[in-house]
Structures are given as C-alpha cells and as structure tokens.
Structure 1
Amino acid sequence: MNPPELLGVLAESFAGTDACRTLPMRLCAACVDTFGAQGGALTVLAGPGDQVAVSTPGEYEQLEPLQEVLGEGPVPRAIGEDRLVALCLGDVVDEYPVFSHLAGSVSGDATAEATLYAVPMRVSPRVVGALSVYVTGDLAARAPDLQLVADAVGTILLRRTTLGDWSEKASFHQATGMVAAEFGIRPDDASAMIRAHAFARSTSLLEVADDVLARRRFPGDG
C-alpha cells in the first residue's frame, strides 16, 4: 500500500470514530482499526520526564500506564532511541524485566499471544511521542507503514490538540507542582515521586495526582 492509500485508510477509519470523543482518542482508535490491531495507545511527551497517554479500552489499556510508572518498556525505548521496538508480551526479557514480567498479570492471559509494536512519532527531526499497537499477528513487514502513520498522527496531535484533550495532563502537572513546592525539589524529581507512589500503590498516575490535589494522601502519607 502506497502512502496516499494508507493515509486514506487512516482518514476513513478516523471518520468512522465517535465524533464526541477527544481527538487523541479518535486518532488512537483509527490507528488500531487501520492495522487490524486488538488495542493501541498514543503517548506524547509533555515535558522533561513527563508524558501523557490515551489508550483504547480493553485488555491492553493498563499496559501504557504500567510502562509510564515503571519507566521501562517498548514505549520509553522507542521514544528514547527513536526506533520501532517490538515485544512479544508472553516473553520476559532483560531489557525491561519488570514490565515484561508484569504485563501478563496486569492484562490477562490473552496478552501472551500478542505483540506490542511501539513506534516513535516524529515531527520534523524531533520525537514527540509514540504510537503503540497490540496485535496477535505479525506487523514486522509493515514497519514503514507504522512509521508513516505514527508521524502523521504526531503532526496532527501537535497542531490540533488542546490541554482539555488529555484528561490526565492538567491534574498531573498541578500535582507535580504541589509536590515540588511541598518538598522544595525540582519538578522532574516531584514527577518521579508521584510515579513511585503510583507503582507502590498499584494504581494510576491520575489517581495519585487526584489524591495530591485533594490532599487525601501524599505528601506525608500520614
């Protein structure tokens, strides 16, 4: 499939998504449909040591926040090394031992048969995030197609999204600021503390951020 045809398929898939959903969610769903995947996610860098993601609902949706909390997995590697990264979710690998060990228990037995493809989203020479797709087939031969779609989606996201399109972004940044002020530390260190608490509590970054903002738990954890 040549680039115009592929982008035409993406556009057709996008047109079939729910117009009431946010642009990132619609683009994510369109990518999943374009590649016949069983799940997917879009992750965008939001600052030093910070990122925000949306995922399609289903058995794979917890794997994106798990990588974010752990700081390891195909998505961080794809972003950091600017290359496509694939992982069979049934394997435990040395590159990301904790994530690969936990992936099956987080999302169930079905993940063992799936492969996660993480593709950097590039806008000009800069990597701005990653597209993730979870498939039970083999997309290795379609690496150029994955890269083309990832770059197109990254460009659209940077040009057209607003703060309100990313449900977790505002509260996470506010919570980071509160923790930084409370402990007198840098924002990236405050972000790391929030991630550590999320991992220790086996919960999401959004839940920890909401607790911080509501002053229910952490800082202090009294």
Structure 2
Amino acid sequence: MSEDRFATAVAALSRPHDGTGSLTEPILEVIPVSGVSISTIGEVLGSETVEASDSVIGRIDELQFDLGEGPCWDALIGGVPVLEPNLRRPVREWPAFSAALRHEQDIGAIFAFPLSVGSLRLGAVDLYNDDPLRLDEATTDQLIVFSGLLGRRVLERAIRLSGDSEDGVTSRHTRRLIHQATGFVIAQLGVSADDTVLLIQAHAFAKGESMADVAQRILDRTLTFTVTGARIEGAR
C-alpha cells in the first residue's frame, strides 16, 4: 500500500506543473510528518515560499529567510539533507533560528532537503513534525526522490513566470539549434530529452542568456556538461 502511494506521488510530481493543484499534498500522502513547504532561497531565484501546507511551516520558512540561518540554508549550501529529529533537546546549530522557533512554535522535529537542477541550487523542501521523529533510511530516500522532482517543477515555474520558456521560441532556426543541442547532450549524458531541455533552460536562466545562445555554445563545444557525483555541471 505504501509503495502504491509513493508511486502515485512520484507520478504526480513528475508532471509539469501549471500552477494549479498542490505540490505538497503528494508528499503528505506518503511521509508521516505534520507539514511541508517548498521554498526558493539564495541568489538564483531569491527567497520565497512557493507552497506551504500550513501556516506553521510557512512561518518556519519566514524565520529562516529573515535570520539567514536554519536547516534550509544548510541543505542549500551543503547539497545534502539536513535532519534534526528532536528539537526539544538543545540544538547547537542555528542559535538564532532555534531560539526564535522555541519562542513561537512547539515543534518536535525539522528536516530540509535541497532543491537543485544540475548545478543550480534553488532552495529546499522543509518538513516539520509536532513530535520528535527520526526518519528511517527508506523515508529519507523517498524524500530525496521527491526533492529531485520538485527542483524541476520549481525551475519550470520560475521560467514560466519570467516568460522565458521554450514556448516563446518561434524561429525555425532557433528551434533547430535547440533540438540539435538537446540530442548532443542526451548522447553526452544519457539523460532524458525533457531533462535535457530543462537543463538548457536552467543554464540560460542562471546566466541571463537565451536558449539559442546556450544551444549554439553546446554545438560549438564551448559549453559541455559533465556528471560529477550525482550532479550535472556545466563547464566552458
């Protein structure tokens, strides 16, 4: 039954998101926590809560944005999950955040998983529980899968809101360039066509370039993508 719920959630989060429907509900159907938020932080997209399942996790995000510390920042910087199973014991990390949280909320546990696409670090998925809670390895692995999918959805949202999406590419020459570059990267990295297009969009978005410019540099071999560990990096 739990495997069915996980598969259903993966399917829901794998679909392009048009701004309707919830991105946190599929997670709450699978993960036994009290609340979930999806937020962008840092230089790429700025600090914003994309979606919060309740006001408590929304306030947790606000505190971290305002104080510049907390599990979401550590997840963003380190690129790995941050797990604090018991906030009712002294926590040395995040002294200002921990003090503010204790003053405002009675939270038992907090977790953060990084949001990224390729080398772009975008933000974090934060989760809290009313009571202390230790995530087992299987649950942690499920959340890593969810955060990987949500990184794509969050970047798609940012590109859609900026108006700089592939849908705006009308030139036949430009479409051909992007198509050729997509095939080049697929052969290079062995990733899907959808992920390759998103990777090109992500690089263009981060560098303030057009997709056509990025595609041309890929074809000229002045821009290459390589897999480093579990990440895809772009290099000149």
Taking structure 1 as the reference length, the TM-score comes to 0.58
Partners of 2:5 and 2:30 within 8 A in 1:
no
Equivalences for residues 1-222 of structure 1 within 5 A: 6-11=6-11, 22-23=19-20, 26-45=22-41, 47=43, 50-53=46-49, 54-87=51-84, 88-107=86-105, 109=106, 111=107, 114-135=108-129, 136=131, 137-141=133-137, 142-160=139-157, 162-163=160-161
Looking at structure 2, the residues matched to 60 and 127 of structure 1 have their Cα atoms a distance apart, in angstroms, of 21
The 1:62–1:5 alpha-carbon spacing in structure 2 relative to 1, beyond 3 Å, is closer
Which runs of 5 or more residues in structure 2 are unaligned?
163-236
Moved more, 47-56 or 114-123: 47-56
Higher mean alpha-carbon deviation, 28-37 vs 42-51, is at: 42-51
5+ unaligned residues in a row in structure 1: which ranges?
165-222
* Partner SS, residue 91 of structure 1: coil
Deviation larger for 121-130 or 145-154? 121-130
Structure 1 residue 26: Cα displacement: 1.0
Sequence identity percentage? 21
Q: Distance in 2 between matches of 1:56 and 1:159?
A: 20
Q: Give the deviation of 1:104 after TM superposition.
A: 2.2
TM-score (norm 2): 0.55
Distance 2:25 2:40 in 1: 16
Query: What are the Cα deviations for residues 13-66 of structure 1, in whole angstroms up to 9, with x where unaligned?
Result: 999xxx9x945x710232233213211111124636932113222433311100
Name the CA distance, whole Å, in 1 between partners of 2:119 and 2:45.
20
- What amino acid sits opposite 1:133 in the alignment? L
Cα distance, 1:11 vs. partner? 4.0
RMSD of aligned alpha carbons? 3.4
Q: What is aligned with 2:170?
A: none
| Deviation for aligned residue 1:77 | 0.5
Give the structure 2 partner of residue 187 of structure 1: none
